[in-house]
Every structure is written in C-alpha cells, then in structure tokens.
Amino acid sequence: MRDMNLFHKNPRFYLALLLTVLEGLLSGSNYIVLYAVLKMLYDGSADIRSITRISCLVGVIFLIRLAIYSTGYTQSQIGGAEVSKNIRLGLGDKLRRVPLSSFTEKQEGQYINIMTADVNSYEQILTHKLASLVKNGVLSVIVLALICVLYFPAAILLLFSLLLLIPEMLLSFRIVEKYGKEKNSVTAEAVGQIVEYIDGIRTFRSYGMGGVKNRNTTDVLRKFSTVSYQYEAHGIPVNFAFNIVNWLTVPLVMWIGFIPWQSGDISAVTFLFLCMMPMVFARLTAAISVDLFSYRNLLLSKTNIQNVLEEKEEAKSQAVFSPKEHDISFHDVSFSYVQGEVVLKEMNFSIPDCKLTAIVGDSGSGKSTILNLIAKYYDPDSGEIAIGGQSIRNVNAEDVLDSISMVDQDTFLFNDTVRENIRHAKPSATDEEIETACQKANCDPFIRKMEKGYDTSVGENGNLLSGGERQRLSIARAILKHSPILLLDEATASLDIENEFAVKQAIVSLLQENKTVVMIAHTLSIIKNADQILVLSGGKVVESGTHEKLLALGGKYTAMWNAEQSITA
C-alpha cells in the first residue's frame, strides 16, 4: 500500500454520503408536509381522512428515513473505520522506514499523538462531521427553496445570512491556522512528557516528584491549558458575532413579511410559516458554522498525518550483505546525536572475528553509541564501519541486523506469553528449540515454576517478571536467533547479586558459541578474560589490549581496575 493512497475513500464511504443526501431531502420534505397541514387547517378543509393520509405519509417518510439513516450511519462507520485502519497500518509501516535518529523524546510524543489522537480526529471527519455538514447543507437548501417559493424577498435575506458564512469561516480558519497548529504542537509535547512521566513514575515518586510536584509535567500541561484557552477565546467571539447577525434574520423576515400579509399579498398561513422557518434556518446555519470550524480544525490532523508520511526514509539499497567473516572495523568514525555535540571523534579500532571484545570507559564516553552504530540504528557522520571487510554504509539496516543479536540493559517484552516473546527472535522456531534456548539462558527453572509455564503471560513490557528474569529471557532470544555477531550492553547492570549471578551464567552459555562478541561491562572482573579490551575516553579509544597488557601500561584501565579492587576488597 502506497502512503499517498491511504486517504483513498472506499465505496462504503461514498454510499454513506449518498444516503445522507437522500435522508436530508426526505427530512426537508417534512417542512412541506407541515405547510400543507397548516394550510388545510386554515382553509377549513381538514378532515379525519386527509389527516390520516398525511399522518400515514409522514409515518412512511419516517420509516424510510430511519432505514436510510441506519444504513448510511453503519456504512459511514465501517467505511471511516476502514480508512483509519489503513492509515494506522500505513503509519506503522512508514515508521518502520523512518531513521531511528528521528525518535527523540519530543518526536516520540508527536508520533504517539498522530497515531492515536490525529487518526481518531480524521476518522471523526469521515464518520460524523462530513455527514453532518452534508445533511445540514441539504436541509438549508430545501428551506431556502421553500421560502423562495413562498416569498422571494425573505429568501434573499436568508441567502445573505448564509453568505455571511464565507467571511466568518475565513476568520475562523485563520484562528485555526494559528492557534490550532500551536495547540497540536503543545499536545504532542504534552504526550511525550506524560509518556516520560509514566515510564519514570517509580523514580519520580521515590524522589517526591510525583503529581503536581513534577515541574516538567505541570509546566507542559499549563502550556496546553493556556493555548486551549487562547484558541477558544479567539474563536468564540467570531462565532458569537455571526450567530447574532444570523438570528437577526428572524425578526427581519417577520417584519418584511408583515407588510405583504397585511396588504393581502400573502396568506396568513404563509406569513406564519415565514415567521417559523427563519428560526429553523438560523439553527442550520449555526450548526454549519460550528461544523465547518471543527472540520477545518480536524483537517490539521490530516496535515500532521501527511507530514509523517512525507518524512525522509532510510535509504534502501540493492547491495547484497553476506560477509564470509564477521570481524568489525571502525575507520575514522565520528558521530553526534545532536549537531555540535560530538560523541565519537575519528574513532579507529578493529574487532576480531569469533573473539570476545570488551568495551569499558567513563559514562558518556560513547560505549553504547558504538553498539548502535554496529547495529546500524544510526549512521556515522563521517568515516566507515565494515563487517567482514564490507562497508555497511550503503547496506539496508535490516540486512545488517539479520547478522546481529543484542542484549540491552532495558529488555523490551511484549504483553504475551513467555514462549511467544522468545519466538520473536526466530518465528519458525519449534517449542523444543525455544525451551532449549531457555535452558542455555538459565531461565528454564523459573519459567517451569510459573503458573502456566511457558504459556504464562509476562504482562505489559514484562512487568510481571523481575529485572533478572527479563534479562535472561533476552539472552534466550539471542541464543535462539543464533546470529554470528552478539552485542551485550551492560547486561548485568542494575541487578541484585542473585540475579546478576544468574545472568552471568546465562552469558557464559552465550560466549561458548562461536560468535563475534562485543560486550560493554561496568564490572571489569567480568571481562578480564576477554580477547581484547577497548578503553574509551572522550569519544576515542585511548587504550586497547588484553587485561594483562593494559595493566602493564599503568594507564586509565589500571586506574579503573585498582578503583574496583579497592571497593570489592
């Protein structure tokens, strides 16, 4: 499905619009029937037979309208939901192709807001606002035509009030353009802040920063409240002024109709009807005004969706990525997450094939960034990264990731069973393969103790499991995927002693495989037997070698080792 076809309307939607027009015409016929009844009563020609015929006619019209409305409403809901479903699927597919560098905290809030609120708003256009506008428009035309037949000058006056919608809408649209866009931007910011607040609620509460004490959250919600007020404060007066002028047509039509009635040019029934219809017409035009304002506001949601669909995508390549070996090399690689704030500076190093390379260094020295670049989550600003001698710059990220298994500090788990969470690493895996991977990852024992074993749900993002259990499931995934390259990002960080020991045992199982392993560790004793240790500082490799060689240098690694030994002694 192509992005620009996502807004394509389906036959159900157009059928619903057609039925809405038909239902509006039938609804307008009631006014004609009402005029006929008043005329009969005034002429004294009404009798039980004629009243019965008219009552039956009104009943039949009502039943037909009911059938048309229910069918049209159903088709509108189904048709609109089908379009919004396609949009959501299209957005999901689009986000899969958007560079990961786009997913900053602010941008993440925008994406969430667009995928939820904006798509819902656009669906509102299709299922409610457009139908309401069409129906009220049809009714307005019928009322105007009826008054035109009864007394032409009154119709001219009402037509003038209808044309006042044009300047009123122009002013309203300018307000939507200014404050609507600002409100959308603040809404996205608020969503991002709320997501961060919910994710960090434990930390916030532990530091007494929950609720109204969380300054960032309260500030963005106050900003949202302010822009919402400004939006309404500028929009309501315009609509209020239009309604005043609009409802002035009621006494004006009465006044211009009184003179011809008094002179006998129009009948009393016609004059009575002229006094009634402007009130109906004023309500219709007021409803059209509100619906148009909402419609224009909701169209901002469509613009937001289109902006995402038009975002720059990761470049796709026809280059085949099939290295025979899996050594990794960085040649003059520089990288920044934010322009002007360099994380890696012309970095050069090599990681041998089928060996364990450990990366250590101060916080913020670029350790996790190296893993992100190897996995092609990001592209370097300059320099080349090669795997097996083949540059990955012009290779599709998915092709590179096929050769990589990752175990991060933060393990993401789906709200599904243990078995299905692990199966994501290899969708074709049998139950036996999954259980074998769990045995190697040292998580089979705790899984067996769970209520339904491997068929137990882990909860949203694995919230029913401990940190160590989640980490071991992540290692089981890596074992099941059986990729030639393994990236470990401080897999034992933030764990208690018991869980850290269990995770270390699981990692030992991983390291027994014939893989190229790159490990970031905060505890040096874990990696002292590594084939190579890279020491980072200030975005560069300042030392490299084995544990013994680095200790002999007496440099940064030695200082780090001595500091750790003094703590554990």
Q: How do beta strands 540-545 and 532-537 pair?
A: antiparallel
pLDDT confidence tier of residue 333, bands split at 50, 70 and 90:
very high
CA 68 to CA 467: how far, in whole Å?
Answer: 57
pTM summary value: 0.68
* Three-state DSSP state, 223: helix
Residue 510 has what pLDDT? 64
CB 328 within 8 A of CB 516: yes
pLDDT confidence tier of residue 103, bands split at 50, 70 and 90:
low
Choose the weakest-confidence range: 14-18, 111-115, 191-195: 191-195
Q: Which long-range contacts (CB under 8 A, 24 or more apart) does 537-542 make?
A: 537/361, 537/362, 537/365, 538/345, 538/365, 539/342, 539/343, 539/344, 539/345, 539/347, 539/365, 539/366, 540/344, 540/345, 540/346, 540/347, 541/347, 541/348, 541/349
Alpha-carbon distances, residue 394 vs 308, 382, 386, 397, 516 (angstroms): 24, 13, 11, 9, 22
Is the pLDDT score of 4 beyond 70? no
Residue 212 has what pLDDT? 66
Domains of the chain: 3-308 (1.20.1560.10)
Bridge partners for 534 per DSSP: 359, 544
Give residue-wise pLDDT tens across range 334-392.
998 878 788 999 999 999 998 889 999 888 888 889 998 998 888 898 999 999 989 98
Residue 514 has what pLDDT? 79
- The helix-helix angle for 11-43 and 130-150 (nearest 10°) equals 30
- Range 236-258 burial, b when 16+ CB lie within 10 A, else e: eebbeebbeebbebbebbbeebe
Is the pLDDT score of 1 beyond 50? no
